[in-house]
Amino acid sequence: AHLARIDAVDEKVHAFLHVDREGALAGARAVDDRRERGEKLGPLAGVPLALKDIFTTEGVPTTAGSKMLEGWIPPYDATVTRRLKEAGVVILGKTNMDEFAMGSSTENSAYGPTGNPWDLTRIPGGSGGGSSAAVTAHMAALAIGTDTGGSIRQPAAVTGTVGVKPTYGGVSRYGMIAFSSSLDQGGPCARTVLDAALLHEVLAGHDPRDSTSVDAPVPPVVQAARNGSVAGMRVGVVKEFRGEGYQAGVVQRFDEAVELLRELGAEVVEVSCPTFDKALAAYYLIAPSECSSNLARYDGLRYGLRTGDDGTRSAEAVTSLTREAGFGPEVKRRIMLGTYALSSGYYDAYYGSAQKVRTLITRDFERAFEQVDVLVSPTTPTTAFPLGERVDDPMAMYLADLCTIPSNLAGNAAMSLPCGLAPEDGLPVGLQIIAPAMADDRLYRVGAAVE
Ligand code: GLN
């Protein structure tokens, strides 16, 4: 049924870069066989899922939205891919994304943009717009995204779905193509809080193949999602996440959500996090710096694209020609920014300062969580903007992640879930919930209460 739905609507939406028809059917049959053999399977066995094209899949193309990896067939599965298969989740295919996850609209994909199923002339969010669109348009029951600065939560917000960035280190990064390693985190996309929790439980857990994987028990997310309640909880409203640049309808729906939390028995207080206004600046030094280092592996020699190798050119010349042809403009911009920020003489002024700001942001969160159990804010300042509107204005594009970036810098857990439609345009608004690191279950407890 899901493959038929993809056939019917994906020509218009363009959520998938690759549909693995045979793999999906074989996966579904394998679940039947396991069931017949009397194997006890988990709750997601047989459930079809769309996988962001940033996770390696053995024998199935993986591009990360880039020409640099066009035609590359990975020889191994990411830990996330492997865990999904073990749980009997059926992988339908790979979803569209901004090139190497750099963007907020999926317009930086080398394979063309994805439309928002609510209005195909608008963005589905980014970088994981293919995953959010697939879930929204019922082409997949579940999807996987990655969130470096908001790429799970912002697409969820603008498509009216649920997206969770687990605590940094909660889900393995092994086989997840690197953008900014100290920020990147994989997580679930779904239509309900409980669906997201069931998927979270499949993905999470220690992995010795990822040196930053947390070696601790997975927070009880499913139990929390089944027992939604905010009675007696303290909820902090982040003062800095409103004002100029916030759409009126977004603020209205957010205020109503806060009111609902109060009605349900939460104690709501205002919390100030004064260094959050520096988060965007710090992020756009740290993420490009790590990207410039991570993307050095695309040299046209080891794997992926190679251009200009006519037998006369040096390796350096081939690398240079390959990068010129293989990387899109946003990726080149980030590599240049990052290389500059890391160069000797500038390192302390830029990268060093950004790391100090990162520490201050983490302290703001620590102080806030001494007063409250969770923080809430709008997920994004605006609803889905029109395709094309911000492509020539990187600063405007970067602002889409204003409210999501602090959690990546601090490494804590955050969720976006729908909180109604903005009256002025009828488009979905997202409510962001933020919990301390390793308290991911609180997101689900609160999310299930207000859903
Ligand atoms: N939009 C942000 C960026 O372009 C975040 C992307 C992400 O979370 N992968 O870097």
Q: What is the ipTM of this complex?
A: 0.98
- What CATH number is given to the structural domain containing 152? 3.90.1300.10
379 C-beta closer than 6 A to ligand 1:
no
Q: How many domains does the chain have?
A: 1
Is 80 domain-assigned?
yes
CA geometry: angle 117, 287, 169, nearest 5 deg: 80
Residue among 108, 148, 331, 405 to mutate when testing ligand 1 (max atoms within 8 A of CB): 148
Which 8-state DSSP code applies to residue 154?
Answer: H
- Predicted confidence at residue 303, as pLDDT, reads 86
The residues, any chain, with a CB within 8 Å of residue 273's CB and separated by 6 or more, are 238, 239, 240, 361, 364, 365, 367, 368, 406
* Ligand 1 atom nearest to CA at 408: 8
Neighbours of 77 (CB within 10 A): 19
**63: three-class secondary structure by DSSP:** coil
Q: Are strands 428-435 and 186-190 parallel, antiparallel or unpaired?
A: unpaired
Is 178 domain-assigned?
yes
107 C-beta closer than 6 A to ligand 1:
no
Is 354 domain-assigned?
no
* Ligand 1 atom nearest to CA at 102: 4
Which tokens is 8 given?
């019917």
Q: Is the dihedral of CA 404, 410, 411, 413 positive or negative?
A: negative
Is 352 domain-assigned?
no
- Predicted confidence at residue 140, as pLDDT, reads 98
Question: In terms of residue numbers, what domain contains 79?
Answer: 2-226
Nearest CA residue ID for atom 5, ligand 1: 149
Is 399 domain-assigned?
no
180 C-beta closer than 6 A to ligand 1:
no
Name the residue with tokens 């939560």: 153
CA 127 – ligand 1 centroid, Å: 6
Is 240 domain-assigned?
no
Measure the CA–CA gap between 160 and 199, rounded to whole angstroms.
18
Nearest CA residue ID for atom 10, ligand 1: 102
Classify each residue of 111-150 as buried b or exposed e, where b means 16 or more C-beta atoms within 10 Å of its C-beta. bebbbbbbbeebbbbbbbbbbbbbbbbebbbbbbbbbbbb
Neighbours of 401 (CB within 10 A): 27
290 C-beta closer than 6 A to ligand 1:
no
**Residue from 46, 25, 24, 26 nearest 35 by CA:** 46
Q: Are strands 413-421 and 428-435 parallel, antiparallel or unpaired?
A: antiparallel
149 C-beta closer than 6 A to ligand 1:
yes
Q: Are strands 234-238 and 267-271 parallel, antiparallel or unpaired?
A: parallel
pTM of the model: 0.98
Which tokens is 381 given?
């300042």
Is 410 domain-assigned?
no
CB burial class (10 A; 0-12, 13-18, 19+) of residue 395?
Answer: exposed
Is 267 domain-assigned?
no
Beta bridge partners of 119: 116
Measure the CA–CA gap between 176 and 203, rounded to whole angstroms.
13
> Splitting the chain (451 residues) into consecutive groups of 10 residues, what average pLDDT does each group show?
98 98 97 96 98 98 98 97 98 98 98 98 98 98 98 98 98 98 98 98 98 98 98 97 93 98 98 97 97 97 93 96 97 97 92 97 98 98 97 92 97 98 98 98 98 96
**Residue from 435, 436, 433, 437 nearest 447 by CA:** 433
Catalytic residues: 52, 127, 151
